[in-house]
Every structure is written in C-alpha cells, then in structure tokens.
Structure 1
C-alpha cells in the first residue's frame, strides 16, 4: 500500500471514529432527554387530571369524569389511562393502539424506550376518591428520536464526504514533492540521471531531496568517469596518436570479426611514399600535420561513399576495410580514394598519381585473416612493381548475379517467404544454459545456398531492408518458433528498418497481437545508434512498451561515448567480435573490462561474441561476463 493510501486510510478511520463517537453521544443524550421529557409529561398530566377530576368524583358523575379524561387522552401522547373509583371499585380504561407513522419498524423493534407508567391517588381533603394510572405512549419518543438521528446522519454524511474530498486533494498537494521524489528515485534506480529536483517547501523533505540530488550527481559522475576511462583506454590502445585513426591492432581485430560473420566487402592496403618526401622537405612536424589533415579528408569523403574503417598501420601505410558492399560500390570507393589522395598530394607540393600505391583484395568465399591480407599485400606489391596507382587482386570467383538479378531473387524470396533459418545458442557463463538463440537466414537460389553475407549488401543497396525484416519476423511468428522453446529469439534489424517510421508502426501492431512478445529480442547495431539516435529511441520504446526486449549488437566497435545506454536502456549488449581476436595483453583486458563495467553498472547483461575455442573464452573469465556466443556452439538448422 502506498504512503498516500496509508495516510488517507488513517484519516478516514480517525474521522469515522470521531463521527461514530459523536453520533453515539447524540443518540444516547437524545434518548435520555426524551425519556425524561415523557416522564415529566406524565407527572404533569397526572397532576392536572387529578385536580380536574375532583369535582366529578365528589359528585359521582361518571359522564363528567369520562369527558375530562377524553380531553387529555385524545392528545395521543398516552397509551393507556386507567381510572379506578375507590368508593365502589368501578374501573374505567381508555386505550390507544400503538401506531407510529414515519418510523421504520426495525427501529421500533429495538425497544429503545421502556414502558413508563405513573400512578397516583386523587383525594379531596383526607378523603381518597379514586386511583388513576397513566401509561405513556412511546410513539412520541420513537418519532422524535428517529427524526433527530436521521438529520444527524445526513449532516455527518455530508461532512464526511466533504472531509474525504478535501483530504484527498490536500494530501495530494502535500505529498506531491514526495511523489516526485519517488519517481526520481525510480529513475536513479534505472540509471537515468536527469536534472536535480527543486527543493520543496516542506522542511523535512528539503533534506531528503538534497540527499537524493547529491546521490544522483555522484552516481552520474561515476558512470561519466567510466565512460571517460573507456575513451582513454581506446585512445591509448587502439588509436594512432598522429593521425587520430585506428591503429594496426584495431584493424586486425576488426578484420577477424568481419571474417567471422556473414558479410562481404574488401580490404585496401595503401602505401604513401609521398609522405616521406614531405618529411625530407619540411620536417616531421609538417609531415605529422599532413598525415592528420589527410586522415580527416579521407574519413570525410570516403564515409560519404560507404561506411568503412580507415587505419594507419605503419608510418606510411594505411588500411581501408569496406564491408557489406558490392563490387560496383567498391570501385566507386576506390575512385573517391584516388581523387582525395591526389588533391592532398597537390596541396603538399608533390606530383599527383605519384608516390603512392594501393592494393585491393575482395572477400570471396571462406577466407582467413592471413589469406585476405596476403592477397591485399600481393596486390600492393604488384602496384609498386608495375608503378601503377592501384592493383586489384585477380580472383577466379566472379559475381554470381547482377544487381537486377539479385533484385528479382530477393523480391521473390520476400514475397513468397523462401528464406531458410538457423539459430545459434547464446550460453550463460555460469552454468552453460541457453539464455537466447540468435536467428540467421539463408536463401536457396538456383539450387545453391546463399548465406546472408552474400545477399545482405544487396538488401541494403536495393532498400529492401524493411520488407525483409517484416518477412523474417512474420515467418518466425507464423511458424510458431516462439512456442517451440522458452529461450528468447534474437532477430537482427537492418539499418533501413531502424530509420523507417512505417516499420515502427507495423512492429507495434504486430507485437500487440503476438502471444509471446517477451520471447522476442531485437538487435540494433551500435552504428545505427550513433547515426540515428532519435529513431533508435523511438523504436526501443515501442519494443519495450509492448513487452519485447532489445539489445545492442557490435557493442564497443564505434569510437564514441556510451552515454546512449542510459537513454536506450537495452536488456543486453553484445561485445563486438573484434575483442575476441585482440592480443591478450593487459591493456586490452583493461579495455574490455571497462566496457563491461559500463554496461553492468547500468544493470545490462554483457555477452561476448566471436568465441571459437575454449582458450578464447578463458580470456574473459576474470571479467565475469554474463554469456558468450560463437562457433564454439555453432548454428543449427531450423526445420518447420
């Protein structure tokens, strides 16, 4: 029971006790007063009648005596008058039936008034003439007592209702600061740190509000410090200090993670010997400034073509990782890279199309890190040897389908729901139990099984992300996958769906009509959070309000603040696969632990991904992460 209801009930009880006590006092006092009044009336009537009857009794006139008694009796206040003549013993009796109008029978049956009888002897001097006995009629008492009690109850009821209404509004006003404090405490418990509460007028609550504001500010500072610590560790371990770009270690780990998940794309290795010329002409300070400006230009222009990871892996060597794109987009990326380089080379006073070489290796089939880096390096060496600005590593594998063929195949698969599914368990580190299953999709085209990495770039390129997500979610629900196991199913959302308001409305309607919304988890890539936080917040609110869950995928991949965790409040985060491939040293361990502490401090489950072997899992044991995922527990085909 809330404090408001407790105080309200206490006031209600006290007021009811007061009213009951006053009613009881009023009732007993009124009853006593009416009894005394009837007794006094009997005395007066007996005395008056005794005086009036003396002449008639002395003369023995029965008719006169009866007339005088009738005058008194017809008033209706007496139940019975009995006159006994002492001379001859004759007795006259007058009776009045008990009829009480306007008073309920149950009230009369309470027998609140006892029979009051007054007996007296009528004398004339020393001579006793008659004996008269008068019995009071209780109707007067019942009628008056009922009238007074009824009016009292009506007045008390009105006062009671007024008091209840006034108490409700009064308590609501008085306890308003306490209610605000309660809401603020809930937000603090959920790690939501808003502005300080204004101090209320109540003195006792002023100290409490001040304490809460101080506690909230301290907790906010703790999480801000954790966020800053993560940023500092990232900058120290994974960022090149001159260019501000990721370093070689980060790039290698990203490539490992990229190859460990279904995707496509290419790696560009570039060697910029013209920077050595800048160094020899102007010194290392100008060279470093040139590298910094070049890095900024490359990030600006290349990310407009396609999201990519640009890293400085050696003094004059750079690497470019472009993911989830087709061959034509890679060509456009290369052209933009060449154009940007030539502009910067010209600004530095060097000759365009000289002093640099680029090698390109496109991802094909199943490749290891050493395979694709070797191909990219061979392409780079070929470019240097032939004195060309770039060389594309030749491969025997060709593009399976053109863009329009992919459009037809994907549109048909979405329309007719031809996708096949696998799910991969996510295991708890504590007891190896399955806590959720992530769903992957495949597609059979011309009797060949195509993995998501082969067709997902075209899904994004052809703007089919929303339609595909709707198709996959409907297929999961229509085939009752939510009812086949108790573990939640994790479904990855595309960038287009996250930014599409129509998808948000569709998903809200679907979840409202779903039997087990709590068994669905939607995974949002961290890159979407940084690029479109507003739509992410709107989508997350819809998911949460309808009973489903959501998590952040590729957590820690982006270089930025993690304050978004406080506003989104996901159920879990999945550490990016690149952390599973980082070198096992103290600095990287501290970075992973700091990332996990930020999430766990907000009561968010932390799942490490990309675990292939037991040795990898043991690296994260000391961090006490909640769960792990990877090909240590491979995906399993789902049969409908």
Structure 2
C-alpha cells in the first residue's frame, strides 16, 4: 500500500472514530433529555388533571369527568389513562395504540424509551375521591429522537464528504514532493538522470530531496565518466592525432568486421607524395595543418556520395572503405576523391593529378583482410610506377543485372514473398539457454536463392528497405515462427525503415494486432542511431509500447558518444565483430571492457558477436558479457 493510502486510511479511520464518538454522546444525551422531558410532562398532566377532576368527582358527575379526561388525553402524548372511583370502585381506561408517523418501525422496536407511568390520588380535603394513573406515550421521544439523529447523520455525512475531499487534495499537495521522489527514483533505476528536483517547502522533506538530487548527480557523473573513458580510449587507440581521422588499428578492425559478413564494396589505398614535398618546403607544422584540412575536406565531400570510412594509416597514406555500393556509385566516389585532392594540390602550389596515386580493390567472394589490402597495395604501387592517378583492380564477378533489372527483380521477389529463412542462436553464457534467434533471409531471384550480401546494396540504393522489412516481418508472422517456437526472434531493420514515418505507423498497427509481440526483437544498426537519433527514439517507443524488444547491432563500431544508450535504453547491444578478432590485443580488450561497462551500467545485456572458437569466448567471458553469437553456433535452416 502506498504512503498516500496509508495516511488517507489513517485519517479516514480517525474521522470515523470521532464521528462515532460524537454521535454516541449526542444520542445518549438526547435520550436522557427526552426521557426527562416526558417525565416532566406527565407529572404536570397528572397534577393538572387531578385538580380539574375534583368538582366532577365530588358531584359524582361521570360524564363531566370523562369529558375532562378526554380533553387531556387527546391533547398530549399519553398511552393510557386509568381512573378508579373510590366510592364504588368503578374503573375507566383510555388507551392510545403505539403508532408514530414519520418514524420507521424498526426504530421504535429498539426500545430506546421504557414506559413512564405515574399514579396519584385525587382528594378533596381529607376525602379520597379517586385514583388516577397516567402512562406516557413514547411516540414523542421516538419522533424527536429520529428527527434529531437524522439531522445529525446528514450533518456528519456532509462533513465527512467535505473532509475526505479536502484530505485527498491536501495530502496530494503535501505529498507531491514524495511523488516526485518516486518518479525520480524510477528514472534513476532506468539510468535517466534528469534535472534536480525543486526543494519542497516542508522542512522535513528538504533534506530527503537534497540527498536524492546529490545521489542522482553523482550517478549521472559516473555514467559520464564511463562514456568519457570510452572516448579517451578511442582517441588514444583508434584516432590519429594529426588528422583527427581513424588510424590503422581502427581501419583493420572495420575491415575484419566488414569481411566477416556478407556484403560488397571496395578498399582504396592512397599515397600522397605531395605531402612530403610540403613537409620538406615548409616544415612539419604546415604539413600537419595541410593534413587536417585535407582530412576535413575528404570527409565533407565524400560523405555526400556514399558513407565511408576514411583513415590515415601512415604518414602519407590514407585508406578508404566504401561498403554496399555498386560500380557506378563507386566510380563517382573515386571522381570526387580525385577532384578533392586536386583542389588541395592547387592550394599547396602543386600540379593536379601528380604526386599521388590511388589503388582500388573490389571485394570479390570470400576474402580476408590481408587479401584485399594486398590487392589495393599492388594497385597503388602500379599506379605509382605507371605515373597514373589511379589503378582499379575490378572484381572478376560481373553483375548479372543492371540497376533497373535489379529493381524489377527485387520488387517482384519482395511482393511475392519469395523468402527463405535461416536463423542463428544467441546463447546465454554459462549454459545452453538461448537468448533469442536472429533471423536471416534469402531472396529467390531467377529460380536461385541469393544471400543478403548480394542484394542488400541494391535494397538500400533503390530505397526498397521499408518494403523489404514489411514483407519480411509479415512473412515471419504468417508462417508462425513466433507461435511455433519458444525463443524470441530478432529481425534486423534497414536504415530506410528506421527513418520512414510510414513504416513506424505500419509497425504500430502490425504489433497492435500481433499476439506474440514479447517474442519479437528489432535490431537497429548503431550507424542509424548516430545518423538519426530522433527517428530511432520514435521507433523504439513504438516497439516498446507494444511489448517487443529493441537491440543495437554493431555496438562500438561508430566513433561517437554512448550517450544515446540513456535515451533509447535498448534491451541488449551486440558488440561489433571487430572486437572478437582482436580481443587478445591489450588496447582492444581495454576498449571492449569499457564499452561493456557502459552498457551494463545501464542494465543492458551485452552480446559478443563473431565468436568462432572457445578461446575467443573465454576472453569475452572474463569481460563479463551476458551472451554470445557466432559460427561457434552456426546459422541453421528453419523448419517451419
């Protein structure tokens, strides 16, 4: 029971006790007063009637005596009058039945008033004429008692209603600081540290509120310190101090993560010999300033063509990772890169298309990080030897469809729900229990099922992400995966769906009519969170309000603040696969441990991904993760 209800019940009980006590006193005092009044009235009536009967009794006039008694009897509350003549013993009795108007019968049956009877002798001098006995009628007492108690009950009832209403509003006002503390405590439990609570006017509560504010501030600082620790570790281990770009270590991790998953794209290695010329002419300070300006321009211009990772991997060498792009878009990316470099060359007083070389290597089939880097390095060296701006080692695998053919084929496959599903379990540490199963899909194109790595670049390029996600979610529901299997199902959402308001509305309607929302998890890529946090917040509200779960994929991949975790509060996060390949390295392990501490400090489950061997799992277990996923438990076909 809440404190408000306890105090309210206490005041209610005390008020009832007071009312009952006052009512009892009022009742007993009224009863005594009415009894004395009836006794006084019957005494007066007996005395008056006795005096009036003397002449009639002396004359023996029975008719006059009866007339006098009738006058008295009919004018007052008397139940019985009895007159006995002394001369001949004749007895006359006048009676009035027990009937009281306006008083319930049950009330008169309570026997609140005992019969009051008085007997007197009518005399004339020393001569006794008759005996007179009068019995009071209790109707007067019951009538007055009922009237008075009814008024008292009405009065007390009105006061009671007024009191409980005033008490409710009064207690609500007085306990408002406690309600604020309770809400603040719930937010603190969710690691949401809002502004300080205002100090209440009640002196006793001021210290409590002040203590809560101090505690909230300190807990907020703890989370900020963890986030700062992650930022410092990233800046120390993953950021190049001169350019502000990611360094070689970060690029190697991104390449490992990219090549571990299905996908497409290319790696560009660029050597800027003209930076060495700037160094020899103007010194290292001008060189470093030129590198910073070049880095800013490259990020600004290239992001307009396609999202990519730009890293400085050596003194005069840069690496570019462009993922999920087709050949035409990659060509435009290369043109933009060359144009931006030539602009900076001109500013430095150098000739365009000279003193730099670019090597491009496209991803082709199953490749390792060393393979694609070796190809890109060979292409760059070839460009240097041949004095060319770039050499492009294109993939031997030719696209079988052009863009419009891809659009038609993908639209047909999605609308026809030509899906084939597989899933991979996410295992809880310390047992064989499954946290959830992540669902993968393949599309049937031209009587052949192709994996996501082949068609997802065109899904994003052709803006078919929302359509794919809708059909995928609907298909999972239609075939009854959530209904037939006990483990929750995790579905990855595309960035287009995350930003699409129409998709949010569709998902709200779908989840509202779904019977197994608690078995559904929706995963958002961390890149989408950093690019459009507000859309992610709206989508999380839709998912969470309907009982489903939210997860963050590729956690720790982006070089940004972890503050979004406080706003989204996902149920779990999945560490980027780059950590699993390099967790044995001290720097990577420290950064990974800091990321885990940030998430677990917010009561968010942490899933290690890309686990292939028990040795890798052992390293992550020491870092206190909750669960793991990878080819240690490979994907399986779904038996519908």
Q: TM-score range by the shorter chain?
A: over 0.9
Question: Matches of residues 301-380 of structure 1 in structure 2 within 5 Å?
Answer: 301-380=301-380
Distance 1:552 1:255 in 2: 20
Deviation at 1:303, TM superposition (A): 1.3
- SS of corresponding position for 1:322: strand
Contact 2:248 2:311 in 1 (8 A): yes
SS of corresponding position for 2:295: helix
**Residue 583 of structure 1: CA displacement?**
5.5
Contact between 1:79 and 1:97, CA under 8 Å: does it hold in 2? yes
SS in structure 1 of the partner of residue 303 of structure 2: helix
Matches within 5 A, 1:221-260: 221-260=221-260
Contact 2:491 2:523 in 1 (8 A): yes
- SS of corresponding position for 1:206: helix
- Matching residue of 2:422: 422
- Report the secondary structure of 1:487's partner residue: coil
Q: Residues 117-165 of structure 1, C-alpha deviation per residue, up to 9 Å, x if partnerless?
A: 1112222233222211111111111111111111111111111111111
Deviations 1:452-474 (A, max 9, x none): 11111111111111111111111
Do structure 1's residue 154 and structure 2's residue 154 form an aligned pair? yes
Deviation of the 1:76 alpha carbon: 4.3
Matches within 5 A, 1:68-79: 68-79=68-79
Unaligned runs of 5+ residues in structure 2 are none
Q: Where do residues 154-193 of structure 1 align in structure 2 (5 Å cutoff)?
A: 154-193=154-193
Alpha-carbon contact 1:250-1:582 (below 8 Å) kept? no
Distance 2:193 2:51 in 1: 95
Q: SS state of the match for residue 371, structure 2? A: helix
Task: Indicate if the aligned counterparts of 2:410 and 2:445 stay in contact, CA closer than 8 A.
Answer: no
**Mapped contact 1:521–1:549 kept (Cα < 8 A):** yes
Which residue is equivalent to 1:460?
460
Number of the residue aligned with 2:393: 393
User: Tell me, what secondary structure is at the counterpart of 1:27?
Assistant: helix
Query: 1:415 & 1:348 partners in 2: Cα distance?
Result: 54
Equivalent position of 1:544 in the other structure: 544
Distance 2:365 2:331 in 1: 20
Displacement of 1:288: 2.0
| CA displacement 1:472-503 (0-9 Å, x = unmatched) | 11111122111122222111111111111111
How far off is 1:410 after superposition? 1.0
Partner in structure 1 of residue 118 of structure 2: 118
> In structure 2, what is the equivalent of residue 92 of structure 1?
92
Matched residue SS, 1:304? coil
Counterpart CA distance in 2 for 1:452 and 1:364 is: 15
CA shift digits 1:32-81 (9 cap, x unpaired): 11111111111111111112112222222211211111111112411111
Q: In the TM superposition, what is the alpha-carbon distance from 1:370 to its structure 2 partner? A: 2.3
> Would the aligned equivalents of 2:489 and 2:519 in 1 still touch at CA under 8 Å?
yes
- Give the 3-state SS of the residue equivalent to 2:257 in structure 1: helix
Matched positions, count? 640
| 1:51-70 alignment, distance < 5 Å | 51-70=51-70
Q: Which residue in 2 is equivalent to 1:278?
A: 278
Structure 1 position 401, deviation (Å):
1.4
Give 1:24's aligned residue. 24
1:509, 1:395 → 2: CA distance? 44
Q: Structure 2 length as normaliser, TM-score?
A: 0.98
CA distance in structure 2 between the partners assigned to 1:505 and 1:78 by the alignment: 84
Deviations 1:518-549 (A, max 9, x none): 21111111111111111111111121112111
Q: Does 1:500 align with 2:497?
A: no
Deviations 1:560-582 (CA, angstroms, capped at 9, x unpaired) = 11111111111111111111122
In the alignment, structure 1 residue 290 sits paired with structure 2 residue 290: yes
Q: Is the 8 A contact 2:583 2:616 kept in 1?
A: no
C-alpha distance in 2, partners of 1:16/1:260? 74
The answer on 1:206 being equivalent to 2:206 is yes
Secondary structure of 1:263 counterpart: coil
- Distance in structure 2 (CA, Å) of the matches to 1:182 and 1:2: 11
* Contact 1:269–1:380, Cα closer than 8 Å, also in 2: yes
| Aligned residue in 2 for 1:5 | 5
Contact 1:380 1:390 in 2 (8 A): yes
Query: Which residue pairs with 1:489 in the alignment?
Result: 489
Aligned residue in 2 for 1:451: 451
Range with bigger deviation, 581-590 or 604-613: 581-590
1:594 maps to which residue?
A: 594
1:141 corresponds to: 141
Please give the alpha-carbon distance, in whole angstroms, between the structure 2 residues aligned to 1:274 and 1:631: 45
Instruction: State yes or no: 1:469 paired with 2:469.
Output: yes
The question of whether the paired residues in 2 share the 8 Å contact of 1:76 and 1:96 is answered with no
Check the 8 A contact 1:378/1:393 in 2, yes or no.
no
CA–CA distance in structure 2, aligned partners of residues 233 and 469 of structure 1 = 36
**Contact 2:488/2:521 (8 A) holds in 1:** yes
Give, in whole Å, the separation in 1 of the partners of 2:432 and 2:317: 44
Structure 2 Cα separation of the partners of residues 400 and 492 of structure 1:
27
Task: Report the Cα offset of residue 21 of structure 1.
Answer: 1.2
Displacement, 1:172?
A: 1.6
Provide the rounded CA distance (Å) in 2 between the counterparts of 1:203 and 1:315.
65
Q: Which residue of 2 aligns with 1:565?
A: 565
Distance 2:79 2:13 in 1: 43
* Secondary structure, aligned partner of 1:351: coil
What's 2:441 paired with?
Answer: 441
Find the residue that maps to 2:435 and give its secondary structure: strand
Alignment of 1:35 with 2:35, yes or no, is: yes
Task: Report the more deviating stretch, 103-112 or 50-59.
Answer: 50-59
Query: Alpha-carbon deviation of 1:99?
Result: 1.3
**Structural RMSD (CA):** 1.4
Deviation, 1:394, is 4.0
Distance 2:447 2:253 in 1: 35
How much has 1:380 moved relative to structure 2? 2.0
Distance in structure 2 (CA, Å) of the matches to 1:307 and 1:581: 24
Give the structure 1 partner of residue 402 of structure 2.
402
TM-score of the pair, normalised by structure 1: 0.98
Deviation at 1:585, TM superposition (A): 2.5
Alpha-carbon separation, structure 2, partners of 1:89 and 1:395 = 144
SS of aligned partner of 2:304: helix
